[in-house]
Structure 1
Amino acid sequence: MPSAAPALVARTALLPRPDDLVALLPDDVAATDLVTWLRDGDGLVGWGRATSVTTSGPDRFAQADRWWHEVCAQSVVRDAVQLPGTGPVAFGSFSFADESAYGATLVVPSVVVGRRGGTSWVTTIRTGATLPQQPTVEPHPAPAAPAKPTLRTGALDREQWKSAVAKAVSRIQGGDVDKVVLARDVIAECDGPVDLRWLLTRLAGGYANTWTFAVDGLVGASPEMLVRREKGLVTSRVLAGTIRRTRDDEHDLALAAKLARSSKDLEEHEYAVRSVADALAPHCRSINVPESPFVLHLPNVMHLATDVAGVLTDESSSLRLAESLHPSAAVCGTPTPAAARVIGELEEMDRGRYAGPVGWMDASGDGEWAIALRCGALDRENPSAVRIFAGCGIVSGSDPAAELAESEAKLLPMRHALGDD
Structure 2
Amino acid sequence: MKHTDAATRAGGARLVVRTEPTDELAPLIPRADPRHPLLWMRRGEGIVGLGEAVRIETSGPSRIADAAAAWTSLAALADVDDRVGLPGTGLVAFGAFAFADGSASTSVLVVPELVLGRRDGRAWVTRIALATGDSEATDAAASAALTLEIPEPAAKRRVPRVTFAPGAVPPEEYEAAVAEAVRRIDAGELAKVVLARQLVGELHEEDGLRATITRLAEDYPDTWVYAVDGLIGASPETLVRVDHGTVSARVLAGTTARGAGEASDRERAADLAASPKDLAEHALAVASAVKRLAPHTARLDASPEPFTLQLPNLWHLATDLKGTLGDGSSSLDLVQAVHPTAAVAGTPRRIALRTLAELEGFDRGRYAGPVGWIDGDGDGEWAIALRCAQVDGDGTVAAYAGCGIVHDSVPADELAETVMKFRPIVEAFGG
Corresponding residue SS for 1:146: coil
Of the structure 1 ranges 1-10 and 341-350, higher mean CA displacement relative to structure 2 is found in 1-10
Q: Is the 8 A contact 2:40 2:47 kept in 1?
A: yes
Deviation readout 1:393-413 (Å, 9 max, x if unpaired): 000010000000100000000
Q: Is the 8 A contact 1:172 1:179 kept in 2?
A: yes
Output the amino acid matched with 2:398.
R
* Matching residue of 2:46: 43
Deviation readout 1:106-161 (Å, 9 max, x if unpaired): 000111111111111000111121551252342122234213x2221211100000
Output the amino acid matched with 1:133.
T
* Matching residue of 1:152: 165
Q: C-alpha separation between the residues in 1 aligned to 2:239 and 2:247?
A: 10
Check 1:163–1:233 CA distance in 2 against 1; reply closer, same or farther (3 A cut): same
* Matching residue of 1:348: 361
Q: TM-score, normalised by structure 2?
A: 0.94
1:56 to 52, 56, 59: 59
Output the amino acid matched with 1:401.
A
* Matching residue of 1:10: 17
Output the amino acid matched with 2:153.
P
* Matching residue of 1:320: 333
Q: Is the 8 A contact 1:92 1:359 kept in 2?
A: yes
Q: C-alpha separation between the residues in 1 aligned to 2:392 and 2:116?
A: 27
Check 1:4–1:269 CA distance in 2 against 1; reply closer, same or farther (3 A cut): closer
* Matching residue of 1:389: 400
1:210 and 2:217 equivalent? no
Q: Is the 8 A contact 1:3 1:53 kept in 2?
A: no
| Identical aligned residues as a percent | 48
Matched residues, number: 413
Check 1:415–1:4 CA distance in 2 against 1; reply closer, same or farther (3 A cut): same
Report the CA distance between 1:55 and its aligned residue. Answer: 0.3
Of the structure 1 ranges 163-172 and 133-142, higher mean CA displacement relative to structure 2 is found in 133-142
Q: TM-score, normalised by structure 1?
A: 0.96
* Matching residue of 1:417: 428
* Matching residue of 1:138: 152
Report the CA distance between 1:309 and its aligned residue. Answer: 1.1
Q: C-alpha separation between the residues in 2 aligned to 1:19 and 1:172?
A: 49
Report the CA distance between 1:103 and its aligned residue. Answer: 2.8
Of the structure 1 ranges 239-248 and 2-11, higher mean CA displacement relative to structure 2 is found in 2-11
Q: C-alpha separation between the residues in 2 aligned to 1:4 and 1:266?
A: 44
Unaligned runs of 5+ in 2: 1-5, 132-137
* Matching residue of 1:398: 409
Deviation readout 1:10-40 (Å, 9 max, x if unpaired): 110101122211011144xx32xx2110100
Q: Is the 8 A contact 1:122 1:134 kept in 2?
A: no
Q: Is the 8 A contact 1:228 1:368 kept in 2?
A: yes
Q: C-alpha separation between the residues in 2 aligned to 1:359 and 1:4?
A: 20
Alignment of 1:204-353 (within 5 A): 204-353=217-366
Q: C-alpha separation between the residues in 2 aligned to 1:224 and 1:295?
A: 13
Q: C-alpha separation between the residues in 2 aligned to 1:221 and 1:63?
A: 27
* Matching residue of 2:134: none
Report the CA distance between 1:279 and its aligned residue. Answer: 0.4
Alignment of 1:16-165 (within 5 A): 16-27=23-34, 30-31=35-36, 34-128=37-131, 129=138, 132-133=146-147, 135-147=149-161, 149-165=162-178
Output the amino acid matched with 2:284.
Y
Instruction: Please give the root-mean-square deviation of Cα atoms over the aligned residues, in Å.
Output: 1.3
Output the amino acid matched with 2:87.
P
Q: C-alpha separation between the residues in 1 aligned to 2:158 and 2:50?
A: 19
Output the amino acid matched with 2:295.
P
